[in-house]
Structure 1
Amino acid sequence: MGGVRVPSLLFVITVGLLGAAALAQTTPPASSPSGPASASVRPPVLTPVVVARHPHDRAAFTEGLQYLGDGTYIESTGLVGESGVRRVELKTGKVVDRVATPLATAFGEGVAVLGGVAYHLTWQEGVAFAFDATTLNEVGRYRYSGEGWGLTTDGKQLIMSNGSSTLVWRDPKTFAVKRSVTVTDMGQPVKNLNELEYVQGSVYANIWLTDRLARIDPQSGKVTAWLDLSALTREASANAARAGKPLTFDDIPNGVAYVPERGTLLLTGKRWGTVFEVKVPGLGTVNGRGNPRR
């Protein structure tokens, strides 16, 4: 999600207070027990361990991220006039190919690849674009109601967020809603679900304007763990300040992708200069390797 591009001082202060209140309400202590979360048990807080750092386009207002299995990832970007989808080399940060969001007035949002098609959301236009995942030529358009934020796939259907506490499963052929679930932490709805990634039976979701990544049971909607990304945010912010381009209030963590052959996650943020490759407790490879998602 993009947010307001030129906020007033009052808006910034208000968002900050709301964000702090949300954190105070939902952030569990480090001593939380592990295991399945219930309405009365706080999910554990996990700290990702950085195993590699990769360059990332500092101008990219990242909205979606997915690793493609061949040393490249697909990324979508936001902001009107700057929105689009690109294929990027992980090790170098080089943009191999790109396409602008076809609607020039649109604010681009999440992207997900399924069945050789890259699906790309828009924030408020209610249009999803479909591109050939290899050529990035447009191959279709779909309509949906409400806002579009994050997008991922479980290998059969698309999973979409809209900034609320609801995740929606959609048919990739028609974009029709197949089912939905409300995401909760200790019985309370978790709002501002943003960029998504489906990994080993769980949905990982960035929470807009926070340093937290939720791991979600897609059947019950319960948060089963939180990932604390604050150290990554501090590093990205310090690097940006040293480069003379300090991060703004909404240059927050947004972008999560799974690298199956290494059992790692790729994490980045809006206008961050780094893609962090991290290990997460309990997350590994499947049979020692993984298949590209095309």
Structure 2
Amino acid sequence: MRAACFLPLLSLVSLNTGLAQSTPPASSPAPAAAPATPPTLIASVVNRFPHDRAAFTEGFQYLGDGTYIESTGLVGESGVRRAELKTGKVLGRVATPLATAFGEGVTVLGGLAYHLTWQDGLAFAFDMATMKEVGRYRYQGEGWGLTTNGKDLIMSNGTPTLVWRDPKTFAVKRSVVVTSGGQPVKNLNELEYAGGSVYANIWLTDRIARIDPQTGKVTAWIDVSALTREVSANAAKLGKPLTFDDIPNGIAYVPERGTLLLTGKRWGTIFEVKVPGLGLTNGRSQPRR
């Protein structure tokens, strides 16, 4: 019985082996293409303007009439000011209403200046005509940078996520994770919306990310290391060298010239620069006061 049972089993094994050998191997899936590395752009300086070296710049926006608005940080020194671009003369200012707060970003929309705080979860609104406080808003997490697309507020909080908020309620409308080459980009800081893109300083670096607001993908990097070197050299000549956190932080779009104003924390200069891919908006000034 063992021999009689073994022969059919042996035949079955041989048949299965032959079938296996005659079946073509499954093809391996093609490897996914690596995400493209965004190009690096160089900012070309076309003008230089004076900037207050005591200003620990957190927010920065051009107002369209030869003036800009700026917010500053550090506890006890935080506030919002409006200044003249050519001279740096302060035309009006208000301290961050919470004396113990570390002030962060600022942006102007609908006649109001919205101002963040770092770790207090509190934003303030000021009337641009009077610089009087007219509103307070609560939010979760930290506050870093703030800009506007003309309809919503766009906010960073140090993570790779940008958040769109309703200016009337500060409620979250949408969010997007910022990535470069498929990897999340953390430490998004001061923001500016220009030419359909969001521009973001990256904390403690000499790079600005140009971001697609729909996908969150970085479409280009702007290298501003030459500006940092110039400011650092000038500060050293004055015997007041920059510290480790006196980094690039401040981006403002000038629509009538198609340029950006760039500065930094405790920098003595505001640079007006041209950046490839960014141009005029309607060829004229568009005040956002």
TM-score (norm 1): 0.86
Q: Which amino acid aligns with 1:141?
A: R
1:243 and 1:80 map into 2 onto residues whose CA distance is 26
Q: 1:39, CA displacement in angstroms?
A: 5.8
Contact 2:256 2:282 in 1 (8 A): no
SS, match of residue 112 in structure 1: strand
Alignment partner of 1:277 out of 251, 259, 272: 272
Q: 1:134, CA displacement in angstroms?
A: 2.2
Listed as ranges, the gaps of 5+ residues in structure 2 are: 1-32
State the partner residue of 1:136: 131
Q: How many residues align?
A: 257
Alignment partner of 2:38 out of 38, 43, 50: 43
Q: 1:206, CA displacement in angstroms?
A: 0.1
Deviation readout 1:105-152 (Å, 9 max, x if unpaired): 000000000000000000000000000112211001000010000000
Deviation readout 1:256-290 (Å, 9 max, x if unpaired): 00000111100000000000000011111023224
State the partner residue of 2:221: 226
State the partner residue of 2:97: 102
2:36 and 2:113 map into 1 onto residues whose CA distance is 38
Q: Note the 1:116-155 alignment, pairs <5 A.
A: 116-155=111-150
Q: Note the 1:222-261 alignment, pairs <5 A.
A: 222-261=217-256
- Rg larger for: 2
Deviation readout 1:59-87 (Å, 9 max, x if unpaired): 00000000000000000000000000000
SS, match of residue 238 in structure 1: helix
Contact 2:256 2:280 in 1 (8 A): yes
SS, match of residue 71 in structure 2: strand
State, as a whole percentage, how many aligned pairs show the same letter: 82
Q: Which amino acid aligns with 2:191?
A: L
State the partner residue of 2:27: none
1:167 aligns with 2:162: yes
Deviation readout 1:11-64 (Å, 9 max, x if unpaired): xxxxxxxxxxxxxxxxxxxxxxxxxxx962111100000000000000000000
State the partner residue of 1:205: 200
SS, match of residue 198 in structure 2: strand
Contact 1:120 1:128 in 2 (8 A): yes
Q: Which amino acid aligns with 2:108?
A: V
Listed as ranges, the gaps of 5+ residues in structure 1 are: 1-37
